[in-house]
């Protein structure tokens, strides 16, 4: 039986079911090796799926993992196929192991041309070297495929593994009355642009007459966000960081989801919003743009201009027919972003290299 080992940073709640299904499809000959159980800036509480796993360290102070002992575990597991999710030192040790042991290598990255535009020449050279010995390439989006193509990778070697959430859990609240006009969910850091969200709320209230908002998350900008909301006299609810299993009841309470970002390879919060029946407004910096979020189908992809966003939001709120169309399409479109399609992308890549 062909043995597969996948190396990744830390457990993520939205990938547990995917790993479970991959293991099932591969007859149990699948092991996930985590560089750490947690990273210091993540507060996820993960309920592990039913698959074989190893954790190399308890907690990491950052996302640049360096675990030389991974070689020892690879020697013990002796996989036929190694899948690396990234290019941190731990992943590069695994790449070298696969090279010297003549094992098949698959690269799995969430990156996009936008998210990797800041990389140094050294980072790009490392990728080119690794890609020379890579048999198949995996990613969650068409933007990931475009990134690989920029390195000269044939698109026939690309396998898509959809980033997914449990759509059924979120759809249950899609028809209830909405308490909040706008919703934000994510880390309170500059890259996620929560202060842009607050300014949008202020201007929507000025034009529309009211704007009640729901904000989920945590981070260093928390005090700034709450201070501005109070200053602008915006009605808001801030329950803080919410665990995965509790999220659906919060998403169900909101009408429209905003996802501004300086740079985001995807945006799983958008899956959650759409599965709840919320149209989404985002920008081209997000991996979900023109992939999960289709302009005027289930939301809008707009330039990061406050008044452009405000005008579109007010237009939606004043047209119930448009809102209902966007909402129905959001639920419909997100269905193909499923755990099963996520797992099949990895399994198809494995089968292709054999």
Q: What is the pLDDT of residues 198-217, one digit of tens each?
A: 999 999 999 999 999 999 99
The answer on pLDDT for 177 being more than 90 is: no
Q: Burial of 92 by CB count in 10 Å (0-12 exposed, 13-18 middle, 19+ buried)?
A: middle
Question: Which pLDDT score, from 0 to 100, does residue 72 have?
Answer: 97
Q: 341: how many CB neighbours lie within 10 A of its CB?
A: 17
The answer on pLDDT for 194 being more than 90 is: yes
Question: Which pLDDT score, from 0 to 100, does residue 45 have?
Answer: 79
Question: Which pLDDT score, from 0 to 100, does residue 40 have?
Answer: 73
Question: Which pLDDT score, from 0 to 100, does residue 149 have?
Answer: 97
Tens digits of residue pLDDT in 212-247:
999 999 999 999 999 999 999 999 999 988 888 889
Question: Which pLDDT score, from 0 to 100, does residue 198 have?
Answer: 98
Question: Which pLDDT score, from 0 to 100, does residue 173 have?
Answer: 57
Question: Which pLDDT score, from 0 to 100, does residue 351 have?
Answer: 97
Least confident of 19-23, 57-61, 145-149, 161-165: 57-61
Tens digits of residue pLDDT in 298-349:
999 999 999 999 999 999 999 999 999 999 999 999 999 999 999 999 999 9
Tens digits of residue pLDDT in 132-168:
999 999 999 999 999 999 999 999 999 999 999 999 9
Sheet holding 4-8, edge to edge: 52-55, 30-34, 4-8, 81-84, 104-108, 136-139, 158-160
Three-class DSSP category at 14: helix
Residue 286 DSSP symbol? B
Summarize the confidence of residues 120-124 as an average pLDDT.
95
Please answer whether residues 134 and 107 qualify as being in contact, where contact means their C-beta atoms are separated by less than 8 angstroms. yes
| Nearest CA-CA partner of 270 in 251, 242, 250 | 251
């Amino acid at each position: 039986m062909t043995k597969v080992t996948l190396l990744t940073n830390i457990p993520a709640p939205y990938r547990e079911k995917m790993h479970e299904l991959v293991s099932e499809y591969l007859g149990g000959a699948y092991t996930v090796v985590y560089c750490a159980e947690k990273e210091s800036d993540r507060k996820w509480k993960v309920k592990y799926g039913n698959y074989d796993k190893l954790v190399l360290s308890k907690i990491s102070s950052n996302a640049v993992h360096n675990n030389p002992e991974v070689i020892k575990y690879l020697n013990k597991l002796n996989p036929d196929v190694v899948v690396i999710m990234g290019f941190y030192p731990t992943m590069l040790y695994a790449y070298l192991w696969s090279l010297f042991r003549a094992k098949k290598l698959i690269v799995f990255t969430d990156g996009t041309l936008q998210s990797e535009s800041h990389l140094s020449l050294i980072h790009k050279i490392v990728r080119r070297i690794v890609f020379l010995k890579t048999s198949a390439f995996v990613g969650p989006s068409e933007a990931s495929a475009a990134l690989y193509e920029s390195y000269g990778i044939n698109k026939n070697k690309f396998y898509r593994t959809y980033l997914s959430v449990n759509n059924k859990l979120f759809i249950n609240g899609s028809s209830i009355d909405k308490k909040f006009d706008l919703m934000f969910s994510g880390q309170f850091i500059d890259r996620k642009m929560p202060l842009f969200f607050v300014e949008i709320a202020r201007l929507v209230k000025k034009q529309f007459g009211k704007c009640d908002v729901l904000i989920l998350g945590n981070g260093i900008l928390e005090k700034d966000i709450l201070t501005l909301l109070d200053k602008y006299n915006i009605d808001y609810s801030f329950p803080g960081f919410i665990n995965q299993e509790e999220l659906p009841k919060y998403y169900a309470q909101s009408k429209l989801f905003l996802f501004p970002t300086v740079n985001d390879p995807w945006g799983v919060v958008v899956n959650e919003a759409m599965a709840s029946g919320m149209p989404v407004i985002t920008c081209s910096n997000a991996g979900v743009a023109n992939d999960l979020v289709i302009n005027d189908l289930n939301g809008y992809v707009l330039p990061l201009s406050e008044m452009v966003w405000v005008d579109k939001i007010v237009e939606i709120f004043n047209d119930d027919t448009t809102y209902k169309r966007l909402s129905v399409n959001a639920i419909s479109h997100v269905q193909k972003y499923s755990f099963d399609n996520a797992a099949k992308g990895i399994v198809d890549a494995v089968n292709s290299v054999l």
